[in-house]
Structure 1
Amino acid sequence: MQLNKLNKKEVDQLFQAILQLKTLEECYRFFEDLCTIGEIKSLAQRLEVARMLQEGCTYNRIETETGASTATISRVKRCLHYGTDGYKLALERLCQMKENDFPDNG
């Protein structure tokens, strides 16, 4: 597992700080201080690419809708297939959260 390459005190502190955030507003405030707008957009774009790949969207559609390069799409796809399942975990939890937020309309 490649996580051991990141296993430094500073990275642990960053991840612990993120885990302490409780609301979307807190996340916006923290990430706007931590990252440039471009960095935040890139992170969000990669997550959207992962979501679209999991849904079976084509590279062309993903490129058109997200503006991601084919290199970025390929990298995200590689992570989905051979990575540590971080995208899958996050997307599953987002899906569960949305299901809990929106009660059955039937």
Structure 2
Amino acid sequence: MQIDKLKGRELDDLFDGILSLETKEDCYKFFDDICTSNELVALKQRFQVAKLIDEGKTYSKVQEKTGASSATVSRVKRCLDYGSEGYRTVLDRIK
């Protein structure tokens, strides 16, 4: 896991903060404060890429619908196939 290098109290604090959010409005407010617009766009795009790949869409269709680069689509696909199951956990929970 690439995140192992970052583990520690500070990251735990961040995750505890995220887990304390109760509504979408809480999320909008928190992420508006903590992320730049570009960071939010990147996160949103990666998640949409993951959803479309999970739906069986082709790389070209995913790129067309999201505007993501082929590198981003490949990276997300690699995470879905060989990653830490983070995308899979969330995608399964929102179905």
* Common fold: TM-score over 0.5: yes
Runs of 4+ in 1 over 3 A off after TM superposition: none
Cα deviation for residue 9 of structure 1 reads 1.2
- Cα distance in 1 between the residues matched to 2:6 and 2:94: 25
* CA distance in structure 2 between the aligned counterparts of 1:67 and 1:2, rounded to whole angstroms: 26
Inter-partner Cα distance in structure 1 for 2:29 and 2:2:
29
TM-score (norm 2): 0.95
Q: Name the counterpart of 1:83.
A: 83
Count of residues paired in the alignment: 95
2: CA distance between counterparts of 1:33 and 1:20? 15
Structure number with bigger Rg: 1
Identify the residue that residue 52 of structure 2 maps to in structure 1: 52
Percent sequence identity over aligned pairs: 52
Code of the residue aligned with 2:31 in structure 1: it is F
Q: Which residue does 1:30 correspond to in 2?
A: 30
The alpha carbon displacement at 1:64 in A equals 0.7
Deviation at 1:2, TM superposition (A): 3.8
> Structure 1, unaligned stretches of length 5 or more?
96-106
Structure 2 residue runs of 5 or longer lacking an equivalent are none
CA–CA distance in 2 between the matches of 1:29 and 1:2? 28
The alpha carbon displacement at 1:4 in A equals: 2.3
* C-alpha distance in structure 2 between counterparts of 1:88 and 1:53, whole Å: 11
